[in-house]
Every structure is written in structure tokens, then in C-alpha cells.
Chains A and B, each alone.
Chain A
Amino acid sequence: MEARLPAARRLRTVPAMYAAAAVLGGAALCVTVWRGLEEPGTALAFGLLVAVGELARVPLPGSDGRSRSAGPLAGAAALGYAMLDAAGGEPALHGAAQVVAVVMTGSLVGMVPHVALGRPPALDVAARTVLGVGFVAVCFQLLHGGGPLYCSGAPGPVHALCLLGLTLLTGLFDAVLGATTAAEHTGRSYAPLLREELRIRCGIVPAIAASGAVLALAVAVAGLWALPVLGLPLLLTQIAFRRHAAVRATHRQTVLSLARVTDISGHTPGGHARRVAALCRSVGRELGLSGRELTVLEYAALLHDVGQLSLVDPVPGGATEPLEGRERRRIALSGASVVRRAGIPGRGTGGAEVADVVERQADPYRQQPVTARVLRTVNAYEELRLGGAGTPGRGAEGALERLRAATAQDHEPRVVEALSRVVMRGRGA
């Protein structure tokens, strides 16, 4: 399903993006210095807003921490400056070059404290911001006063709607760039990544961009006083995102602790749940599951053996695979009741789905959702590979061999093949 990119092509686009951003930024800076800064007050205000937003950078909720983007404040401020055609009733004189230069300077300044504290600079984000802002600024110059695509005369509702359309286009552009970077970093193919980016971003990025349009319009009407007034909700948003990220990290640590419990109680060999979770994630990726499904799968894999706590005597080696089907299902049900009883709310965090996967991990594969199939096969692989108290470990080859033999009812052939590809690749690397 997922064709892999040839290595040569994989290594080309990201440096190209960095180079394009550097060239664009450098050229804009030169032009601005050469021409001199138009309206330095406005430039300073927007640049400051970008720097503050960059300083308080946060991962977007639902993005898994990997796919990053400019925070709401910096993003909106950058776009707002790009789409500003007047300030307090006076027409704005800055061109696209000045927009790019100011935004780039602002985000670099905002990055300085991060670098000083030893955190790696988010260069890919900065490059995307510069390219995105350049894109909007150029589009805007084409649309607004005197440009070749000049449409509306006096400022009016049509103008406002044009800005909104432009912001949606920006969201799309940003998603394309994001998917490109992600495709290169992870080596996955482009289309599912773009879908994922668009899914994550279909709400947030247009909303951020539209906030930029509001900033532009409000500053055009009411002058720079509009910036703090509208910047406040955006700053609050950023605080909310930050808290979300903190709780998410704690939540993850707690799930990991819960996953370690069966190790500590001697029900499973040490690190079993973590290994199964990591392998499940790779296999799920290989099968092209979405980011959300991957999270559900990972949590379910971490918690899949919790049901064994209800056993009065531990199963030898923690291996459930050799048990009778009915017993296995009883354990799965008990584990699901732990996860479900906890009442993790369904939407957004996938708690109910996690419980569902845990519950159905022992069913024949045709009755299972794809996540549960992956979990069942990977768990069986781990148990077969290491062996239990009575049975010797078969090693990777032997385990895969056994799984292939059981594809009639227990394990889906597609999942087994994906697993074997992942295992072989891990060995090759």
C-alpha cells in the first residue's frame, strides 16, 4: 500500500526547502535594508508579536508532537502583517520583501532564548514560516491595490472575503510543505502524510490564518491598538496548547507506568509491553494507519496485558498465545474493563477505542478491527520470538515462520507481511 520513496529523491527536497527559504529571506532582508524600513512602528509591533509567539512556541494538539507549525500567535501575526494594506486608515507602504524580512527577524529573535537554553532551533518550522509568509505576501500584492489581479475597489466585504480565501490557500500550502518534510524525515510516502497533515490542520491552520486576516483588518481600521486586544485571545490559546502538551506528557508517562505493572508483578517478561507498543507502531505505519489510529494502537499495545493481573497465578512467561481461546478472551475482557472502567472519554483521546482494541485482541482476525489485528500478531510474534518458561525462543525467523503458518484464522496475512518487512528492515539497518 505504501510505496517507499527512492533514497535519492528523499534526500533532495528538504535541503531545497531550506535553500529556498534562506535565499528568499536573504534577498528580502537585502531589499529591505537597501530600500529602508517603511513604517517602522508597524513593522516593530508585528515583529514583536511574532517574536513573542515564537518564544512561547507550542506543539499543536493532535499533532503527535512531530508535525509542528508556527504557534497561533506567531502564525497569525505573520499572516496579518503579510495581508496588511492599511494601518489606522492610512495606506500601508511595505512590500512583500519587508514582510518576509520582518517576520524572519522576529522568529529568529524569538528563537534566541531557546537556543541559549540548549534546545535545538526549530529550523524546519522557521523555513516553512518564511516560505509561507512569502507566498501570502506575494499573493496579496497581486490581489491588492494596483496588482495585476486587483479585484475590488474600495475596502469592503469582498476584500474581507478575499483575505479569508487567501488564508485557506495558505493552510493548504503549509500542509504541503509539512507533508514534504515529514515524508523525508520518516521515509513514508507522500499521499497519506499529506492527508494526515490536512486532517490535523484542516481546523487549526485556517483558524490561525483567519486570525491573521482579522488582525490585518482590525489594524487597518483601528490602528496598532488592535494588536494587543486581539493578541490576547491568541496568547490564551497558546497557554491552552501548552497546558495540553504538559498534561499529554504526564498522561503518557502514566500509561507507561500502567504498562510496566505487569512486568513488576512478574506476569510478563520485562519490557514486553513497550517492545510490543514500539513494534505495533512501526507495523501500523507500514500499513498506512492514520496518526490517530496509531495512537490508539500504541496505547492499546501498552495496556494489552493488564487483564493478566486478574489471574491468581501468572501464566508461564506471560505468554497468552498458547492459552485456550476462551481463557485468552477472558483475560482480554478483564483488561478492557480496566481501561474502559477508567472512563477515558471517547472523542479526542480514543479511550473507548483503546479498550475496544484490548478487548478484541484475542478474536480471530476476520472479526477484528485492523488495530486489534496488528496488536494480536505483534504480541504473538514477541512471545514466540523470546519463548516462555516451557518453550524455547524461536528467534525472529522462527516466529515469523509460525505466524505465516497461522494465517488461516488467527493472523491476517497482510499484517504478518508488514511485520516481516519491519523486522527485516530493522535487521538491515
Chain B
Amino acid sequence: MMGTRGADLPARALVPAAVLTAAACAVPAVRQLDGLGAVGGAGATGWTVCCVLAAVHAGCVVLTRERGPWAGLAAPGRAGRAREADGAPPLVFPVLLAGVFLLPPSGAALVAVPGALLAPLGAGAGQRLWHAARLVLALYAAGLVRALCERACGAQGAVQRAELPLALVAAPFVAVTFALVLAVLDGTRTAVSGGRVPATLRRGLCPRTVGPHLVHGAAGLMMAVLWRSPYGPVAGLFVLLPMLLSSWGFAQYRAERAAYRATIGSLVKSVDIKDRYTCGHGERVGRACALIARELGMGERRAEELRLAGLLHDVGKLGVPTRVLRKNGPLTPAERQEIERHPELGDEIVRGIGFLGEARPAILHHHERYDGDGYPYGLAGARIPQAARIVAVADAFDAMTSTRSYRRGRPVDAALAELERCAGSQFDPQAVGALVRALAKHDWARLVADVPGPPSALDAEDASAARAGAGHGAAAGGRPGGGNVPAR
């Protein structure tokens, strides 16, 4: 993603510029906090409040670090991306936003600094400074908006007097401003480093990011109200407990979901143990299915079901004798019949799993042909479930393009041409068209670069070559049962 030498300049200037702006925002705190007088119930001065909040924030960050005792609480996001982007576990936001309600803008901005500098971003000082600067700027902006809101609806001191509906008005504005400034800063950074800006902005402003911030804003407000109540700062910090509980609940959910996905993975992996020719086949077919589903405009939920369907479509091979699956050379009619039972066996294996949705009929019918000559039931055309038609296309595509120990894979273009040739007879033209369109936009080799290929029997030492070969290569040989390879 590195640009040319000329485009490098804004990328290098961005972090220092952000740090300088942040410093300019935070420096007035020195004078303002001195002049603030008592703000806490226990007669705490502005400096005390700022230091306590900063210490709590830093403590939360340290505890939820990668190897910290509460590591599980930090939101990993999708493949760790969100964690990198936010660099902060969700627990810290109520603390930061409480600062917005308790302190003047510059003081609120200062609260984030020590914790942000301790954040585990792994990328060195530059990354930490950037992270600190973006939090400082976002909090400063949120503080300004808070002051504006309070002036606009005459709510100055509402937090102090615990006038709740009135004090609550500012909370959503503060939360949205905070999220907005963070998203804009991230977008700027993506822009100068040549990334895709709309994706960054969308991630920063989607309901899944802003929604939690609204809750954090309300919790931060409650924290400020209790902090200034006769019960004092201790009561304010208690508000973190429900937030902790909530983070813990979501962390448990994520862990269980990861375990579930891993178990699905081991189901697929055990197919690989039996049929070593097809290592990684399920994973690649799953991705191709999801690609087709999205291209056909299906929702995320159906795309996920189709990914599962592709992943598990050959699971029935677990029920076919290993000797037959691994046989080199032509199969006898009896052996062929054994192999052709695998869709039904697969259906039998996944019978007990709820939530598979469309994946189950897809597993049962993925060897039906569009013209009705397939198995197990000889369904034709629209009577074949759509998911099964998609899996059939993805299955054939991967069977043709991947390298097997007995032959090299074909190039993607040749495989697509072959699919188009058989569209209408063997395959659903709609699904083939969707795959062709999707692969015009995405590079298949890159999409499956991380899927391990089969251990190459031709060249046992060079497994990496087989992996690199998955997706391109030339010359194909047919093998019965080895996927939906079009018959010549």
C-alpha cells in the first residue's frame, strides 16, 4: 500500500501534525485545571479528577492487553482488525467519556494520554503517538460539543445537580461526535497511505461502532453524575461494573463462537485426513460459495449459510471407505456407487446440527445436474435448491483449478470458460454468471492464498509449491468423484 515517493510526504507528516494539534488542544488544561476548584464530591480538584480517570483508563488498558489478565475482554473484531483500529478495549470508553462530562475539553483530552501510550499496538512509538493523538482530538471535540449542547438547552451544571433528563441530552451528541472524529481521523490516515477510504469510514460510522458508543456515552454521563454526588468518585467508578459484565458477556460469546467455527473446521479437516487429494477443498469451495452468494445479492446471513454449505459439502465422504477414496486408477461400478452415496451420508452426518439452514439441502443435492442427470435424486432446474446449484458450481470450479497430486490445476480463465460451456446442461447459468462476474472483481489466487493445499505426492518435500499452485497451473485430468468436474 506504500505510494510513490511524492505521496509518502503526507503519510509521514500526518502523525506529527496530529500530535502537534493534539498537544495544542491539551496544553490549556494546565491553566484550566488549576482554576477549576472543587469538582468531586470529596472536594477533589480538577487535577485529581483528571489523574484518577487517567490512571483508571491506563489500568483498564493494561489489564486487557494481549497477555494481560483480562485479555479476553478486548474486542478482537473481525480477524483482529477492529482491535488494531481502535487499539482500545470497549471498557475504557465510559471512563474517557466520563472525563468529557467532568472536565473542561482540554482536561478531558488529557485523560486519554497515559493509557493510549501504553496501548499494545506493537508497531512502535509512531503508532502509539498516533493513537494517543486521535483519542485526544476526539475527546477534545466531544468536550466542545458537550459545552455547546449545555449552553443551547440551558443545561449548565445539570450534571452537578443530577438533573437527569436534562443532563442526558448532551450524551448522544458527545458519543456521536467522538465516533465521528475517530472515523474521520482514521479515514484521513487511510487516505494518505493509499487505502480505501469509504471502507474505513463505513466501519467507523456503522451502527455496530456508533451503537456501543451511545451506550458508553450514557454510562460516562452516569459516572460523572455519581462522581459529583455525595457518594463521591468511588460510586462513579462502580458504573464500570455493569460495563465490565457486558464486556465479559460478549467476550464469552465470541469465544464460544470461535470454538464452534473451529469444530466445523475439524469436521472439514477430518475429511482431509481421509481423502488427502482434496486438502483445503472445502475451505476454498466455501469461499467461492460466499462469493457467488454476495454477487447474487443475498444477505450476509444466507452468504454465511452458503459458506458453511461449501465448507461441509463433502462431509459425507467421511462415511465412504478410505480405501475407495484413496484408490488410484479406475473405479469399479460398486466402488463408484459407494462414492456416490456421499451426499446422502453427508446429510445424515449434519442432521443433528441446527442453524445450518440452506446448507443441509445444499449438501444433499450438490451432485444434481441442471439437466436432471445427477444424483442422488435426479432433480432438474429450479427443483434443485438454489444453494445446491451454487455449491455445484463452486465445487467444480475448485476441482478444476486446484492442483491434485495426480495433475496440475487449470488456470482460472480456462475453468470459467469450461463452466460457461456447461452452463444450462450441468450447471445453473445464473450461478455460473455470478461466479464469472465476481472473479472479474476479485483475484481468486489472493482470496485463497492462505488455504493450505494438499501434501503433494509428486513432490513430497515441496509442499509450498503445491500451495502456490492452488489457483493456477495447467493440464487437467479427470477423476471420478473428485468433485463436480465437467464430463467431456
Contact = CB atoms under 8 A, between A and B. Distances in A.
Interface stretch (B175-183, B314-322, B329-337): B314-322
Contacts of A210: 238, 241-242
A218 B447 CA distance: 51
A211 interface: yes
A226 B352 contact: no
Given A222-B164, A229-B168, A342 B266 contact: yes
Given A217-B226, A253-B353, A260-B349, A233 B215 contact: yes
Contacts of B258: 344-345, 349
Contact of B234 (A89, A160, A238): A160
A408 to B, nearest CB: 34
Contact of A234 (B218, B245, B320): B245
Contacts of A348: 72, 252, 255-256, 259
A203 to B, nearest CB: 7
Contacts of B226: 214, 217-218, 221
A204 B72 contact: no
B265 A237 contact: no
A29 to B, nearest CB: 30
Interface string B254-275: 0111111011111101100110
A230 B231 contact: no
Query: Mostly helix, strand, loop or mixed at chain A's interface?
Result: helix
A424 interface: no
Interface residues of A, number: 79
A364 to B, nearest CB: 26
A32 B354 CA distance: 47
B42 interface: yes
Contact of A156 (B230, B253, B355): B230
Contacts of A251: 256, 259-260, 263
Given A160-B231, A160-B238, A214-B239, A257 B353 contact: yes
Nearest to A310: B273
Interface in B138-165: 162-165
Given A217-B226, A229-B221, A261-B319, A309 B249 contact: no
A309 B270 contact: yes
A220 to B, nearest CB: 8
Given A309-B273, A349-B255, A253 B242 contact: no
A61 B252 contact: yes
A232 B267 CA distance: 39
Contacts of A338: 266, 269-270, 273
A34 interface: no
A312 B258 CA distance: 31
B173 interface: no
Given A229-B168, A342-B263, A248 B162 contact: no
Contacts of B225: 218, 221-222, 226
Contacts of A303: 266
B222 A230 contact: yes
A211 B222 contact: no
Residue from B72, B257, B259 whose CB has the most chain A CB atoms within 10 Å: B259
Interface string B365-378: 00000000000000
A226 B255 CA distance: 32
B223 to A, nearest CB: 10
B55 interface: no
A203 B235 contact: no
Contacts of B116: none
Interface stretch (A184-192, A239-247, A282-290, A393-401): A239-247
Contact of B250 (A72, A211, A240): A240
B244 interface: yes
B338 to A, nearest CB: 11
Interface of B: 41-42, 72, 162-165, 167-168, 215, 218-219, 221-222, 225-226, 229-235, 238-239, 241-246, 248-250, 252-253, 255-260, 262-267, 269-270, 273-274, 315, 318-323, 326, 345, 348-355
Given A204-B248, A236-B250, 18 more contacts: A157-B41, A164-B238, A208-B245, A210-B242, A221-B229, A225-B165, A229-B219, A233-B242, A246-B355, A254-B263, A257-B267, A257-B349, A265-B320, A338-B269, A344-B258, A344-B266, A345-B262, A351-B259
Q: What are the nearest 3 A-B pairs in CB distance?
A: A342-B266, A240-B249, A225-B164
